[in-house]
Structure 1
Amino acid sequence: MEGQKKRVAVLVGCNYPNTSNELHGCINDVLAMKETLVKRFGFEDSNIEVLTDAPDSCKMPTGANIKQALAKMVDEAEAGDVLYFHYSGHGTRIPSKKHGHPFRHEEAIVPCDFNLITDLDFRQLVNKLPKGVSFTILSDSCHSGGLIDKEKEQIGPSSSLQKGATSKTSYTLTPKTIPYHSILQHLSSLTKATTEDMGMHMLELFGSDASLRFQTASHGQLEALGPDEGILLSGCQADETSADMNPSAGGGKAYGAFSNAVEMVVREDKEGGLSNKEVVVRARKLLQDQGFEQHPCLYCSDQNADAIFLLT
């Protein structure tokens, strides 16, 4: 992009250690991506913020910390900047109150403190982008399709799908999802309230740090601003799960299936300069060949579908 100034990234990996929701490959995913961003895509190490729930982490990936890092990245952006957010961790679905919603659910990611960040929060961030700034989100989580509210589908549920065979790897597959009712039960145990209204629990526990989806004054007021600079590469469709792969035995390394597929696609591209659409199509094909039944998706404007991934 002409006049390009800086390349900034926020990378979040949540393994939820020592809990019933524990994953194993998410921190590995974002550390591998950090190396790729520096070596392949020209990001400065000082412009990359990493939030993980590793025991020695200096900043935990709570909902408030993640949103603060993203807001800072967007607020400080100037024309020509390239912004990137990589999330590897659990996702969930919230029952939708909107009539005619295609899946009757809203999509969200699950920070380590369960302070959900929803599709509406990502829509707000995209709407705040200064002119000439691109913002790419890669979400390796369940139900991640549609994670930017009202973003245009380029590759998604309406794309031709083929079912893969059962994965035959020597890895244990764990879906990266926490069901809505499990989250509601967890929050209820903290607030001691019996209500089934998740919004009430969220507001009691997190106040103004809770998602816009639960802030009644903001709910439903954010619209897409025509073709925008939000770009979402999701690990699966909104009604699918994404896989966390943990070695069953031996010294293999745990990883997220979609994060690993994107890493492989980028590594195998010797020419440099795959479009966003090409990255998703190749990652989808790779996962299909490996036997995974998850279908990566792309949501963005027509122009950004053909734009080069991370504008290299």
Structure 2
Amino acid sequence: MFGYGSNNSDALGPVEGDKKEWRLIERVVMANTTELRRSRRWGIFFKLLTFIYILAVLVLFITNSAGSTSIGKTGGHVAVIDIEGTIASGELAGADAVIGSLSAALQHPDTKAVILRINSPGGSPVQSAYIFNEIQRQRALNEHVPIYSVIVDSGASGAYYIAAATQEIYASGASIVGSIGVTAAGFGYQDLMDKVGIERRQFTSGDHKAFLDPFSVLNPDEQALFEILLNDVHEQFIRDVKLGRGDRLVDSPKLFSGLFWTGSQALELGLIDGLKSTAELARELGYPQTVDFSLRPSPLEAFARNLGVSLAQALVKLGVSQGVTLN
């Protein structure tokens, strides 16, 4: 009997061991299943969050696009166009953007006046001349809608070139106004190349094809030619400023020397007509309501630009961008 009992206990031992193994496997499988479910839930959550974000951006884009192209009746308003930043082709202060905004403002039936709100250090003389000529043309075509300029922080160089085309110019007493001149700058590296032991190899066809090459000794004849070029652009600048401002300008040799002044000083020199802000001028015109006709990047464009900046910053942090250059 004892032998039978002993054999039975031995027989049950492996069965209990198998049960323990199965329980362990079951726990592992259940834990893995739970983890997979948790991961799937988080994945669905983040996908849904991304979808909502993209949808919100698209709705904002569509809404703003519709609002920017159709401005309803206002009963009379002053159209405001911002000229901010460097005046250059492709920029918001470039000719295409400013002329497009001006055209849209003048086409609105409730526009009673236009104010160019200027905050720019200047830029391309070509772009400035384009805008100057278009303002003069639109003033002749729309004599019943006066066009003014209000200089905020700075209206210098090409920015003042644009302002001179308007009927009147206003600024703050502390604004920077003027800088009626032309500049071009560069560097000469020929002595540095001699010290380092670098040989310059350049092949051109034409006596002046390498005009003002920074790696070659400055040619006096080319320097003289370049100064003539700058003087010609300067004379065009002076001519248009005189055309726009007329006899309001004070006869002073410093006026076209490239110097700039505060708004208070500019008023004494006849460069501006008074010290007023955009809101003050709009109220005096009898139409305190202002409507912004400035060309702005769409929300989608702004989103793409911000996304690109964020991605670049992330790459810098990761050290990925060290070998990447933009040319």
TM-score, scaled relative to structure 1: 0.32
Higher strand residue share: 1
Higher helix residue share: 2
Larger Rg: 2
Q: Which has the higher contact order (CA 8 A, sep 6+)?
A: 1
TM-score, scaled relative to structure 2: 0.31
